[in-house]
Structures are given as C-alpha cells and as structure tokens.
Structure 1
C-alpha cells in the first residue's frame, strides 16, 4: 500500500512539474538594437513625450482655425417678469381739461418693454488681416518642430540608458559563467587534494584552505547571480518591458565593435547633436516672438455679418407664430487701428530682443560644452581601452600561474599555499578584467552620444 501511495505521489509531482513548465513564459531573445527598438516603442515616458508632440500639432490647427470664418447661431426667448420702465416728462401727458393729469415739471414712468421677447440670429465674422495671426501660424509650426526634436532628445536618452543596462547584463552574465567554471575547477582540485590527504600525500590544512576558497567562491557566485538578476530587471525597466518577462541576450562581448575613428574627431559637425538643433529652433521662436510683438502696431481688419428675426408681445402665443417676427440683417467691416498703448509693446520688444540675444550667446556656450564633452569621452575611452589591454594581459598571466601552481602541487614540488594564493590572484584579475570591459563599453556609449551617433534613424 505504501509503495502505491509513493508511486501516486511521484506521478502527481511529475504532472505538476510538467504543467508549471508549460506555464513558464518563453524567454524573449534580444540584441542590443532590438532592445533599443522595443524601448522606443514601449517606454511609457516616451509615449508621454510623443503625446506632447501630438498636442503641439493640435495647437497649429487651433491657431489656423482663428483665420477661418467664425459662424454662430443663437435663439433666445425671454419672459420680462419685471418689466423695465422709463421716465418721460409730464408735459407729454398734460391735458388742461383733465384735472388728474400730471403737473408740469414731473416725470411719468412708462413701460416700453413687452412681457415676452424672442430673437433668432445667425452671425458670422471673417478675419481679413492680422499681422499677429500670420506670425502665430509660423510660430506654431516652429513650436511643433521644437516638440519633435524634444522627442528625439528623449529617444537618445532612452537609447543611452538601454545600452548601458544591456552591457551591464552582458558583463554580469560573462562573469557568472566564469565563476561557474572556477567553482568546477576548484571543486575538482579540492576532491583531488582530499584524495591525496587520505593517501597521506597532503595535509588536512591543504584541504581546509581549498574548502575555504571554494566557500568564498560560492558566496561570490550567489552575489553575482543576484546582481545579474538586478541588472536584467534594470534593463527591463529601461525598455518598458514587464518584469515577469524573461529575456535572453543574443549579443556577445567579443562581438562588440568599438569605432576608434570617433576618438578625437576632426571637423565635427555640431548639427549632429540634437541639443544644437533644439537651440536653433529656440532661436527661430525668439525671432518670431519679436516679429509678433512688432506686428501689434499694424491695424486689424474684420468682416462681420448678422441676419435674424425678432418678436415681442405681451402674449406668449404671439411670439410662437412666425408671422409676428421681424426680419433684420447687417453686413459691415471693422478696422482696429492701435494708436497708443502706453509704450507697452515697446518694452515687450526690448525684453524679447534680450531673450533672442541670450539664445544666440547660447550657441557659443553649447559649442564649448560639446568640445569639452568630446575630449572627455575620447580620453575616457582611450584610457579604458588601455586599462582593458593591461587587465587582459594580467588575466592571462594569472591563469597561467594558477595552472602551473596546481601542476606543481599535484606533483609534490609546490605548496598548497601557492595554489590558494594563485587562485585568489586569479579571481582578482578576473574581477578587474570584467570591470575594465564594462568601463570600456560605458565609455563607448558616452562617446557615441557625444558625437551624436548613438541613435541614428
């Protein structure tokens, strides 16, 4: 009976394991470019920025609508429940033969307002000329361009964040694989040393030293595994990818190409930087602002028209009959000529000119900032590559020393302390090597951003 129960539990365990395996989500295979493309489509902050761009386009339509005919229709029916009265001189009502007529010099209240009134009218107006409107159209289009370039700037920032997070996962993954290999190698060495101890060739101290090394290595493996998971979570966040979605990176560190032609570039085109394009657009807006204020001195011309019917009666039924409505219509032009505004526009122009001048001065500051950024990024990449080359040589030497130390110990011509020391130096060399790789990759991203080539469409 116990055997049957055990067999049943084993079957249920296998079934549940198969079900969980079927429910496990398939890993998304991602290259760096695919990760950036996904982020550009799905990052919530970018979607909000693009919504602002759509809003800017709507602003252009709003301003354009101001120059189109404005037509309104209105129907009003009212009850003058307290009728307004007007005073007239008593002489209008004085009758010498009537002793009750009001005396001269007084006023008599008279009601002219009927009890019920109604008015139906269609009015239309058309802007014929307004200098501010014409400048506003150009400014709205320029503002749309500014919004579009702001979106591009946000896209570049997202590409930078995704690239750095992607490289962090790559480096952590490679380091994790190397730690696994180290543990396997050290575990084999520990087993061999333990056999040697049992045969009286090695001491217990040799076994204990290697076990301490192995335990430390396993702790480092656990820490690296957690850091790898944290790096993957950061990458998913930067991409706008759900945290529960597993990912599998397809790029390899050895495949990453560093374009050395970008280091200390000659005849750099500042227009490659989105910040420069943004400043150019802001300058255009500042120039249009000056023109817009100046256009306020020009006259404005409108065409107006009204057509409708009205009715009035003390009987409500009378205003419901169309025969009692009186027709009226009006067509005219309105010319508004500014004469004196207390020098308000004069001071506004002064302020807008200062803003324009500051924008022009910003170009020189930006150029100097870009030059400095290029030199810093180039220097950082050059230094990082030099360090990487040195650490790569150190790693090769540390691996060779560890290999020789192990052989000497196994052959009885070396000590266990030499093996432990060589393993410690090897782990330090590996750590320094992968730190140098990460620094070089980050410097590469920074240089690409500085040269304006990080995100090209």
Structure 2
C-alpha cells in the first residue's frame, strides 16, 4: 500500500504545472523571434528597398549633368579639315514640367512603402502566433512524454508485482505475466515515439525563434475559469494590418495610373551647354575657327500619339485595382471566418478542459482502487492494465485540452493583433 501511495503521489506531482525561474518562457521566446526570425529580417530589407524607391522617384526633380569628349585622327584630310579634331560638351539639364508624372510616381512609391510596412506588421503578428504555437506544441509533446514515462513506470510496477506473484505461484498465470510484459514493451515504444516528437517540436521552435537556446523551457499557465472572449470587439477585425496593406497598395496603383496619365501632357525641359573644340588631343583651340560656346535651350515637346500604350497601361492599372478590391472583400470574409472558428475552438477547449479534468481525477482514483484490489486478489491483471490505459488516456486528454485552449487563445490574440 505504501509503494502504491508513493507512485500515485509522484504521478499527481508531475501533473502540476510549475513555472521555473530563469527559464525560457513564452514571452521571451516571442521577443527572441521578433529579433532573430529570418522572415522578419527579410521584411526589414524589403522596407528599406521601398524606402529607397521613394528616393529614386524624387531624383526626377534633380538636374542632370552630362559630359562627352570626342577625338578624330584622319589619314587624309580634305579642304577646311584638320588632321586632328577634338570636341568637348558639358550639358546641365533640368525638367521644368513633366505632366505631373513625377509627382504621382513619388506618391505611388510612398504608398507602396506604407503597404510594405503594414505587411511587415502583419508578418510580425504571424511570427508571434507561430512562436506561440511552436512553444505550446513543444510543451504538449513534453507533457505527453511525462505521461508515457508514468505509464511505463506503472506497467513496470505491475510487471514486478505480477512476476513476484507468479514466482510464488499465487493467482498469476504465465500468460498473464506475458500479457503485462507485452503491455510494458508497447508502453516503452510509445514513450520513444513521444520523445522523438518532443525533440522535433523543440527544433521547430528554435527555427521560428531564429536561434537555439540552452535554457529550460517554461510552462504556460491558464488562469482558472479564464474567459477572454469578452475582451474582443468584432469591429476591430477591420483594422487588421493586412487590410491596411491592401488599401495602401490600391492607392499606390491609383497614383501609378495618374503618373501614366501625365504622358498626355506636354513636357518642358531646359538645358545649358558648354562646348569646346580643338585641333589636337588636348583640346587646343582651332585657329579662330571655333570659340568656346555656352548655349541655353528651352525645349517644349508633346507626344500626340504613341500607339495607344498609355491608354492600355491605364486600363491595366484599373484592372489591378479591381483585383485588389476583390482581395480586400475576400480577406474580410476570411478574417470573420477565422474569428468564428477561433471563438468556437476556444469555447470547445474550455469545456473539454473542465470535463477532462474531472475524468483525470476519477481515473486516478480508479487506478488506486484497482491496484489495491489486484494486490488483494480481487481484480485481475487485465483489470489493472485497463486501469492504466484509462489513466494514461485521461492524462493525454486533459493536457490536449489544456494546450489546445492555449492555442485557441493565441489564435484569438493573433486575429485581433493583441
């Protein structure tokens, strides 16, 4: 009886969820993932790329400066020609009017940057959820390992007791002993599978975090009778960063269309040229033929027809904006569906947790009763095997409900970007 009490006390102790000091908790795991996750690093560089696109678009307001130099050497010069000719031109150009194309190109680049920034924030929320899911999945697999370790201990205890009874010729036949041994071996196989799943889950967590950690991974606790559904407002679903990103993308397309429309307007350019000529490689001035020149030019140009390309480009942008409108509508439906599913899952896991907790308490009592009756010769080894199965299954069901509720909570927080 004393040995049985010790085993069940140990079994009860491992079911308690404890928090260890100086361990890797879920909040710290999320912080590390937000700093080290490679997907987020990629998004940061993408933001820098789009930010630089704005600088590139703004260069249209800057002047341009070009220089060119040419040198000719002739084997037979004609009259009025020299054997050597050289020329140098320096041109400073500035666009005075470009049909507002440059203005809208800059606006388009700015909206693209905003869209990318909103996408980055949405990706951060995805990484937070992925980290929590991987963290909780690891805890779930680790807890399953403990459950299967306990099952092995109980089967080992039953095997030792049965073997003792068999050797004394009391109540246990050889086939009963072999049956218990088979169950013990199968329990060990399930334990190996659980340990493997735990190691894989740990690697997945480290991959999401972007680095490995040698710290002990801490448990996550649920407040008793916790219900977070009242903390969310369905209207907040439309403030998701994914929706904002698409709206900014649509505005970027609108400004790109306006930029193309600028091609229907005339263009005005100004340039200032400095010209020098020479009759040698070193630009020695020709004898009175050409003096250095400074030339200022204003150019007015207007394309009256370019084959319909501008009209076609504008139609393309309109179709792209229509696509974005459809994407926004579809995204809103998906978000509402996500919320409905997550809400139902949270309610379901909350109820399952209550039921499985009661079943776990009863299965512990049942195992203790059957174990005592087995020692007294009232219950058979098959009864004790069944009691062990019930206890192991009750533990698995309880922790599945426990961690599933944590996952449902994390999903709700992701949906509302909490």
Report the TM range for the smaller structure's normalisation.
0.7 to 0.9
Which of 104, 108, 114 aligns to 1:135? It is: 104
Deviations 1:249-292 (A, max 9, x none): 12x14347996333795442234312211121122113212322
- Aligned residue in 1 for 2:92: 124
Deviates more, 1:285-294 or 1:273-282: 285-294
> Is it true that 1:395 corresponds to 2:364 in the alignment?
no
> Is it true that 1:368 corresponds to 2:368 in the alignment?
no
**Structure 1 SS opposite 2:298:** strand
Deviates more, 1:165-174 or 1:332-341: 332-341
Which of 251, 276, 284 aligns to 2:251? It is: 284
Deviations 1:59-103 (A, max 9, x none): 1111111211212233333324576xxxxxxxxxxxxxxxxxxxx
Which of 238, 259, 277 aligns to 2:208? It is: 238
- Aligned residue in 1 for 2:13: none
Which of 39, 52, 57 aligns to 2:46? It is: 52
Whether the aligned pair in 1 keeps the contact of 2:109 and 2:252 (CA below 8 Å) is no
- Aligned residue in 2 for 1:76: 70
Whether the aligned pair in 2 keeps the contact of 1:153 and 1:274 (CA below 8 Å) is yes
- Aligned residue in 2 for 1:221: 191
Whether the aligned pair in 2 keeps the contact of 1:409 and 1:416 (CA below 8 Å) is yes
Deviations 1:146-202 (A, max 9, x none): 222222233222222222111111111122223323333443343344334444444
C-alpha separation in 1, matches of 2:337 and 2:215? 38
Whether the aligned pair in 2 keeps the contact of 1:270 and 1:276 (CA below 8 Å) is no
Whether the aligned pair in 1 keeps the contact of 2:25 and 2:220 (CA below 8 Å) is no
Q: Which structure has the bigger radius of gyration?
A: 1
**Cα 1:259/1:305, change in 2 over 3 Å:** farther
- Aligned residue in 1 for 2:32: 38
- Aligned residue in 1 for 2:343: 378
C-alpha separation in 2, matches of 1:61 and 1:360? 29
Q: CA deviation at 1:29?
A: 4.1
**Structure 2 SS opposite 1:441:** helix
Q: CA deviation at 1:358?
A: 4.1
TM-score (normalizing by structure 1): 0.77
TM-score (normalizing by structure 2): 0.84
**Cα 1:52/1:79, change in 2 over 3 Å:** farther
Whether the aligned pair in 1 keeps the contact of 2:71 and 2:87 (CA below 8 Å) is yes
C-alpha separation in 2, matches of 1:81 and 1:376? 87
Whether the aligned pair in 1 keeps the contact of 2:367 and 2:391 (CA below 8 Å) is yes
**Structure 2 SS opposite 1:30:** coil
- Aligned residue in 2 for 1:443: 408
- Structure with more contact order per residue of length (Cα contacts < 8 Å, sep ≥ 6): 2
Deviates more, 1:115-124 or 1:355-364: 355-364
Count of aligned pairs between the two proteins: 393
Deviations 1:195-250 (A, max 9, x none): 344444442445434333322222211111111111111111222225xx545212
C-alpha separation in 1, matches of 2:315 and 2:263? 14
**Following superposition of structure 1 onto structure 2, how do residues 186-225 of structure 1 map, counting pairs within 5 Å?**
186-205=155-174, 206-225=176-195
**Cα 1:390/1:145, change in 2 over 3 Å:** same
C-alpha separation in 2, matches of 1:299 and 1:259? 67
**Cα 1:69/1:177, change in 2 over 3 Å:** same
Whether the aligned pair in 2 keeps the contact of 1:171 and 1:253 (CA below 8 Å) is no
**Cα 1:192/1:80, change in 2 over 3 Å:** same
**Cα 1:217/1:81, change in 2 over 3 Å:** farther
The alignment's C-alpha RMSD in Å is 2.8
**Cα 1:267/1:186, change in 2 over 3 Å:** closer
